[in-house]
A and B are shown apart, each in its own frame.
Chain A
Amino acid sequence: MTLATILVIAAVLALVVVLRVTFSRGLQVSTDRSLAAQLQPIDVAAFRNLVDPAEDAYLLRRLPSAEFRAVQRQRLLATAVYVKAANRNAAILIIMGQDALASSNVHTAEAARQLVENATLLRQNATIALLKIYVALAWPHASLGSTPVVQRYERLNVSAMLLGRLQNPAAPVRIAATS
C-alpha cells in the first residue's frame, strides 16, 4: 500500500507539471503582445564590475577578512539581482524570437534563430550562475564564475537589437542600458 501511495503521489505531481505547462502555454499566447514592455534594460558596465575577479582580488587584499565577507555578500546579492533580470530578459527574448522564426524574410528568420540560440544559452548560464551565487553567499571566498553570463548577455543584446531592427526599425529592442 505504501508503494502504491508513493507512485500515486508521483503520478499526481507529474500531472500537475503537465497541466501547469498546458495552462502557461495558453497564457503565453494571450500575453505575447505585451512582452517587449517587460524587458528590463541592464547596466552591463556595472554588472561586469560586480563579477570582475580583479575587483574580488583587490577587495580581498585591502579589507580585513570579516569585512571582506560582509562586502562580498552585498556584492553577491546585487549580482543575483542582475543575473535574475538577465535570466528574465532571456526568457522574454526566447518567446519574441520564436514568434519571429516563422517570418517570410530570410534575414529576420535567421536573426530570430540566432536570438533564440543566444537567449537559451544565456538562460542556461544564468541558472548555473545563480546556483553558484547562492553557494558563494555561504562561502564568499568561492570563485563566482558569472563572467560568461555578462559576455553572453552582451551577445544577446546585439542579437535582440538586430532582430528588432529587421522587424521594426522605429521601435528599438534594447536589453542593455548604456551609461
Chain B
Amino acid sequence: MLQAHSILWHYLWVAPNVILLALAFLMWKRGLVKTFPIFFSFAILSAIGQLAVYVADIAPSVSAENFWRVDWISMLVEGVLKFALIAEIFAFAFGPYSSVAKLGKFLIRGVGIALVLAAGVAAGYAPKDSPYGLINGAHLLEQTIYLIETGLLAFILFFSSYFHLRLSRPLFGIALGLSISACVHLAAWAVIANAGLKNSTRYHLDFFSMAVYHLCVLIWCYYLLVPAKVRIEPTVPPSEPPFNSPSAPPTTKDLDELNEEMERLLHR
C-alpha cells in the first residue's frame, strides 16, 4: 500500500491537484478571483505544475533527467507564487492598519533576511544525498523554499495574533493551509535531504507529505467555499450594562477634559 506507484500513491498525487483546479473554478464562478488573484493563480499553476511532474513520472517516454527538469521548473514557478501569496496575505492582514503595517514591514524584512541567511547556511552544510547534481539541487531548493516560507508565515500569524488582528475567514484559511503544508514539508525535506534515509522510510515520508498536502487543499476548500456561521447576538437591555465600568455614562465634559489634557501633553 505505502509503495511508489500504488493506488494510494496515484490518488494522493493526483486528487489534491484536481481538487485545487476545481477550487479555482469555483472561485472564478463566485467572483473570488478579484479578491485573491495570487491564490487563484497559485491554485491553477501549482496544480498544473504538479500534474505535469506526475505525468513526467509515469510516462515511460520521459527520461529521468527530463523528469527532474520538469520538477525544477514546477518548483521554481510554485516558489515564486508562494512568496507572492505570502505578500498578498501580509497586505490583506495589516494593510488596513497603517501603524501595524509600518512595524510589520520593518520586522518581516528583518525576518526575511535572517531566513534567507539561515536557508543558505542549511543548504551549504547539507550533505549530498545523490550523486546527481540535478537531484541534489532539487532537494535543497525544496528545503530552502519551505524554510523561508515556514518562517514568514509563522511570523505573520504570530504578529497578527499578538495584535489580535482577525484575518478574514478565507484569508485565514489560505494562511493556515499554506502554513501547515510548509511546516510538514520543511520537516520532511530536511530529513530527506540531510538524513540519508533508506528508500522504504523515504516512501513513508513522501506519503505523509502528500496526505498533509491533501488535507491542506481540503482546508482551503472549506475556508473559501463554506460560509461562516452567522452568530445571533442577544440584545442587552439598556438598564443592565454588561461590564464593570463606572456607573455614570461618559459625558461631553469627559471628552472635553481628556481632549484638553491631551492638547496640554502634546504642546508641553
Q: Mark A10-44, 1 if CB is under 8 A from B, else 0.
A: 11111101101110110011000100111101001
Of the candidate stretches A75-83, A130-138, A150-158, the one touching chain B is A150-158
CB contacts (< 8 Å) of B125 on chain A: these are 3
- Residue contact A123 to B163, C-beta cutoff 8 Å: yes
- Residue contact B99 to A22, C-beta cutoff 8 Å: no
CB contacts (< 8 Å) of A22 on chain B: these are 176
CB contacts (< 8 Å) of A36 on chain B: these are 242-243, 245
Instruction: Please tell me which one of the listed residues A11, A15, A169 contacts residue B249 in the complex, with CB atoms under 8 A apart.
Output: A169
- Residue contact A172 to B186, C-beta cutoff 8 Å: no
- Residue contact A11 to B258, C-beta cutoff 8 Å: no
- Residue contact A18 to B180, C-beta cutoff 8 Å: yes
Q: Given A14-B179, A25-B166, A94-B165, do A7 and B254 touch, yes or no (CB 8 Å)?
A: no
- Residue contact B176 to A18, C-beta cutoff 8 Å: yes
Smallest Cβ distance from A82 to chain B, in angstroms?
Answer: 16
Q: Mark A146-179, 1 if CB is under 8 A from B, else 0.
A: 0100110011011001101100111111101110
- Residue contact B180 to A15, C-beta cutoff 8 Å: yes
Q: Given A41-B246, A124-B100, do A7 and B143 touch, yes or no (CB 8 Å)?
A: yes
CB contacts (< 8 Å) of B245 on chain A: these are 36, 39, 41, 171-174
Size class of the B contact interface (CB-based, 8 Å): 35 or more
Count of inter-chain pairs, beta carbons less than 8 A: 168
Q: Given A4-B190, A117-B99, A171-B236, do A37 and B180 touch, yes or no (CB 8 Å)?
A: no
Q: Is the interface of A mostly helix, strand, loop or mixed?
A: helix
B98 interface hit (Cβ, 8 Å)? yes
In Å, the complex CA distance between A13 and B157 comes to 13
What residue in chain A is nearest B248 (Cβ atoms)?
A172
In Å, the complex CA distance between A174 and B242 comes to 12
Most A CB within 10 A of own CB, among B103, B126, B245: B245
A95 interface hit (Cβ, 8 Å)? yes
Instruction: Please tell me which one of the listed residues A20, A123, A158, A170 contacts residue B239 in the complex, with CB atoms under 8 A apart.
Output: A170
Instruction: For the A-B complex with A11-B187, A113-B96 known, give 6 more contacts whose Cβ atoms are closer than 8 Å.
Output: A4-B195, A7-B147, A95-B166, A98-B165, A98-B166, A124-B103
Could you list some 29 contacts between A and B, CB below 8 A? A7-B122, A7-B190, A14-B182, A15-B180, A21-B157, A21-B160, A25-B166, A33-B233, A36-B242, A41-B245, A41-B246, A94-B164, A120-B163, A120-B165, A123-B163, A124-B100, A151-B262, A154-B258, A161-B254, A168-B236, A170-B249, A171-B236, A171-B242, A171-B243, A171-B249, A174-B250, A177-B246, A178-B246, A178-B257
